Amino acid sequence: MLLNKTLLKTLIFSILITFGLSTQISQALAADISFGGVIPGGGVIHKNILSMRELKYVDMVPQHTDFSCGAAALATILKYAYNQNITEDNVIEGLLKVSDVDVVRQKGFSLLDIKKYTQSIGMRGRGYNVKPGTLEKIHIPTIVLLNYKGYKHFVVLKKASADKAYIADPALGNRIMNRSEFDADWNGIVFAVVGQGFDRESPLLKPNEAVTARNLVDTYRPLTDAELFDYGFVRSDMLGL
């Protein structure tokens, strides 16, 4: 059933009331700082300084409601892995068109909702059961479902190593989890978004970490065609990459 924009806004508002908006965070905006008089004759230097919150959420889309972690995680991949001009609100509106609103009010969006919306915008969603021991072999950002003490929460898994998991958490920002903690919370499924326009130099593929000369080349090398084929990409997806 097609929903008009007014009805969508009403549904979104009612869901927000249901969930209580408890994850809304007031934003501390970046400041344009001027430095003058430090060096005689040097003039004035303008420097844009990121706030602590903006640094925490750099290159990702934060969630603004309790139920929208899945929407924010998908928006993060579409925006920063596919360079799409998209917001969390855009994804929420799209998800509401393909989901059961009553279920969303109670439980939030599901992985099936995310898959349906992904297909509705001309892309493909692929879910894979992955053993923890092979997780570090995945070299594209994926959506995973974690269970935080009974609270199910979607995040973007950017990269995994033998002892760490680098995630973009819509509620908590960019962070690094201990692998044993991640593996205990994770349900064993990764969801990949596949389609045209994938950015092999995506910032999601370059999580902040200590880089040494020994691992610099491998850490930041672009993905090969063969690796992309492994994750469900086809030749037409890579035209123009």
- Give backbone dihedrals phi and psi of 168, rounded to 5 degrees, phi first: -105, 105
* Catalytic, out of 69, 86, 135, 146: 69
Q: Which amino acid is at 21?
A: L
CA distance 125 to 9: 26
CA distance 211 to 130: 27
* Tokens 């930041």 found at: 220
User: Which class for 146: exposed (0-12), middle (13-18), buried (19 or more C-beta within 10 A)?
Assistant: buried
Task: DSSP letter for 82, please.
Answer: S
Tokens standing for 232?
Answer: 């469900």
Nearest to 157 by CA among 94, 69, 73: 73
Nearest to 81 by CA among 173, 197, 169: 197
Degrees (nearest 5) of the Cα angle 139, 64, 168? 20
34 is catalytic: no
* Tokens 């958490």 found at: 169
Sign (positive or negative) of CA dihedral 20, 172, 147, 79: positive
Write out the catalytic residue numbers.
Answer: 69
